Amino acid sequence: MPNEKILVVDDDQNICELLRLYLVKEGFQVTLAYDGNAAMAEFAAIKPALVMLDVMMPGMDGWEVCRKIRATSKTPIIMLTAKGETYDKVLGLELGADDYMVKPFDAKEVTARIKAVLRRCATGDEASEGIYDFDNLHLDMNRYELKVRGKVVEAPPKELELLACLAGHPNRVYTRDQLLDEVWGFEYYGDSRTIDVHVKRLREKLEEASEQWQLKTVWGVGYKFEVKE
């Protein structure tokens, strides 16, 4: 894991240098970018193992950079922001971010989060390989492709991973915390209602696709992918 390339993107050069010190000490190779355009150029040039991405930047902000990266790559992204509102956390995760850190943060937390995300993604690539077929539903996690009634439906990576987790274990009930752990793979410090948001979005995409299965709420517990016998 050490020696991997990390791209740090923040318009505050002091924060960039601080993160560089943290990460170089841990054995990572660090490249810095101070705005969105530079971030995209560096991303294409160095192909980092992970991106640490500030939300609030002039010009192209972190949300837009995250969107552009996710359009072509599954490279892990950790969002950095001075804000702690649940909305920002949910939006970052909706756009495909893998983790979220609120400034200020300390060296131990930064390196622990990076290592956790890299470890999860390394094992996740193997664990997520699989194809899930149900009536009018086809989910191919090798391609990160969802088809409903034979048509491709666009969905962020985390929505697909959440669906794969549930559909991969039909009729098993998962709590929100279990789903956060299974799909995000780290100790999530925010609001577990982010799962509710993801399930709501998935239901909109899967609405009336079939009467043989459904994403079902188990009140007081969590969710399950219910398949009728």
What's the pLDDT score for residue 41? 94
What's the pLDDT score for residue 128? 45
- Residue ranges per domain, the chain? 5-126, 131-227
Tell me which fold the domain 131-227 belongs to.
Arc Repressor Mutant, subunit A (1.10.10)
Kindly tell me if the per-residue pLDDT of 4 is higher than 80: yes
Q: Do domains 5-126 and 131-227 have the same CATH topology?
A: no
Q: Counting Cβ atoms within 10 Å, is residue 62 exposed (0-12), middle (13-18) or buried (19+)? A: buried
What's the pLDDT score for residue 174? 93
Tell me which fold the domain 5-126 belongs to.
Rossmann fold (3.40.50)
pLDDT in tens, 140-169: 887 888 999 999 999 988 899 999 999 988
Closest CA to 66 of 27, 93, 26, 29: 93
Long-range contacts of 110-117 (CB under 8 A, 24+ apart): 110/19, 110/22, 110/23, 111/22, 111/23, 111/26, 113/78, 113/186, 114/6, 114/23, 114/28, 114/50, 114/52, 114/78, 115/1, 116/185, 116/186, 117/50, 117/76, 117/78, 117/185, 117/186
Kindly tell me if the per-residue pLDDT of 195 is higher than 70: yes
pTM value? 0.56
